[in-house]
Amino acid sequence: MKRQTLLENRLLSAYITHRDCLLHEMGPGHPECPQRIDSISDFLLAKGLLDLMLPYDAPEATREQLQRVHAAEYVAQIEAASPASGYFHLDPDTTMNPHTLTAAKRAAGAAILATDLVIAGAAKNAFCCVRPPGHHAERARGMGFCFFNNVAVGIAHALEHHKLKRVALVDFDVHHGNGSEDIFKNDPRVLMVSTFEQDIFPYTGDTPHGPNMVNLPLAARSRGDAMREAVVHAWLPAIERHQPEMIFVSAGFDAHREDDMANLGWIDADYAWITRHIVHMAERYGHGRIVSVLEGGYALDALARSVAAHVGVLIGAYE
């Protein structure tokens, strides 16, 4: 690891999280659990990667920032549903406890802060280690463990506040990012490229909802080779045509072969490989600007290793 070179000669990456993200929980045995954050941070610390990053606490996104991508009525609904005690079930898999609203606002706020830091040149790029995840949250509906669409909030901030003209959203979660597609369909400023396992939740993505959507469903048990072929032959040409000024990442790690949420069978090295291509495209068109936001990943050991592979490439610690 090139620790001394990184510390002396390079702008560092930002690592954004908050302890409030640990307080949100959806009941015993739920796969989207607080331990996900600790497993990642503990592993990154043990590997020395956090020593090469700038730590930040995630702020809470404001109502105005959330309403750039969500209907005002939906934001009000989520705020009103926040329970004083116990649980409120948004759907059978998506539950609020008394801390969920704050955690969800901080998860979205992390993407806002990351965008500000990277565009200002205060950080090389940023990884947001936050929960609840967000890419299933549509403009007016939460689902799939998601309440607010964190990465979409960051993208809208880059477009509306910082006035970027073109951005790309790379989504490599095992589940299709239906919420992000719902929010950005037909927006020519946003190119969304995504891979996901076919015929599983949320059972969408086979038919793109706009010309700015490059959806690549992958067959079960197709392993990382199918993903790599899809990236080379579809993603990269689309990104080259779009020439994004900044790249945002919905970073899901549930395609890993140790994760029983689905059956794509990826390994740690696949996440490093895809990240190298993201970094290359960002350097080519967007001054290296990347904001990566945690989505899925539920096998804790595999999640921690895969995030380390992703982050290690982002910060330049791993080739």
Q: What is the pLDDT of residues 19-60, one digit of tens each?
A: 999 999 999 999 999 999 999 999 999 999 999 999 999 999
| Paired residues of 54 in beta bridges | 14
Of 204, 90, 192, 73, nearest in space to 147 by CA? 90
Q: Indicate whether 2 pLDDT > 80.
A: no
Interval 171-226: pLDDT, tens = 999 999 999 999 999 999 999 999 999 999 999 999 999 999 999 999 999 999 99
Checking 76-84 for CB contacts under 8 A at 24+ apart, the result is 78/104, 78/142, 78/147, 78/148
The per-residue pLDDT of the chain, averaged, comes to: 96
Domain formed by 3-315, architecture: 3-Layer(aba) Sandwich (3.40)
Domain ranges for the chain: 3-315
Segment holding 205, helix H or strand E: none
Which residues are designated catalytic?
A: 136
CA 26 distance to own-chain centroid: 20
pLDDT score at 239: 98
Interval 50-69: pLDDT, tens = 999 999 999 999 999 999 99
Do residues 284 and 290 touch, judged by C-beta distance below 8 A?
no
